[in-house]
Amino acid sequence: MTGRPDGGAAPGGRRRIVVLDYGSGNLRSAERALAAAGADVVVTGDLAAAADADGLVVPGVGAFAACVAGIEAIGAGPVIAGRVAAGRPVLGICVGMQILFESGDEHGVVTKGLGLLPGSVTRLAAARLPHMGWNTVQAPVGSVLFAGLPADSRFYFVHSYAVGDAAALTASGARVTTAHHDCDFVAAVERGALSAAQFHPEKSAETGAALLRNWLATVPAGD
């Protein structure tokens, strides 16, 4: 833990970031990467701290249904939704991105997501799964997350499911970044205070570090 567990002000104007601990995700690697990017980081499942933080990171690995169950078990859904509604920054990573959508369909079982983004998570229509390793992305004009990054920047992916249809996202006003692995899929989303990445920025070396710095620059520092 690199931040203050009491949720007090971060030193020197550093952004106070909570990495939400609900039993899933690369918590420590996310903590280290965010700290290296200049944040004051706490890994916790405390909802008051999650609500009060300057920025909230929702990680996630494994199954969609298991991650939703973990969020429900600690009652974090309303906190995440409340932050988004209030325009307070949230970053979802990997399955932490997926659960922000309306639903996830795994092995024929549909699980309701948080519904903060339109669309459904489904199995990639790819011959080789999981999609594991480095891949490029196609970021839209005006992207904040990918600002200053070369077009051929590579990010680290580990997943078999994703949002394949970006039409509803685009119609909602989101900036949508895509990637290709036998098929196109949503690699990142930016809409207001809500950002999300299907890849792991915390495992994506300097390109991931640059993306995290870009995200932190959008997070207002608290008192």
Give start and end residues of each alpha helix (H) in 23-171. Answer: 27-36, 47-52, 64-74, 77-85, 95-98, 167-171
Any idea what DSSP says for residue 205? H
Q: Are 58 and 96 in contact (CB under 8 A)?
A: yes
Phi, psi at residue 93, to the nearest 5°?
Answer: -125, 130
Set 131, 159, 181, 200: catalytic member: 200
Please indicate whether residue 94 is annotated as part of the active site: yes
Set 94, 131, 159, 181: catalytic member: 94
Set 31, 67, 190, 202: catalytic member: 202
Hey, what's the torsion of the CAs at 97, 100, 101, 104, to 10 degrees?
70
49, two tokens: 């701290």
Distances (CA, A) of 114 to 16, 100, 111, 117, 174: 24, 5, 10, 8, 17
Please indicate whether residue 180 is annotated as part of the active site: no
Please indicate whether residue 190 is annotated as part of the active site: no
Q: Which residues belong to the active site?
A: 94, 200, 202
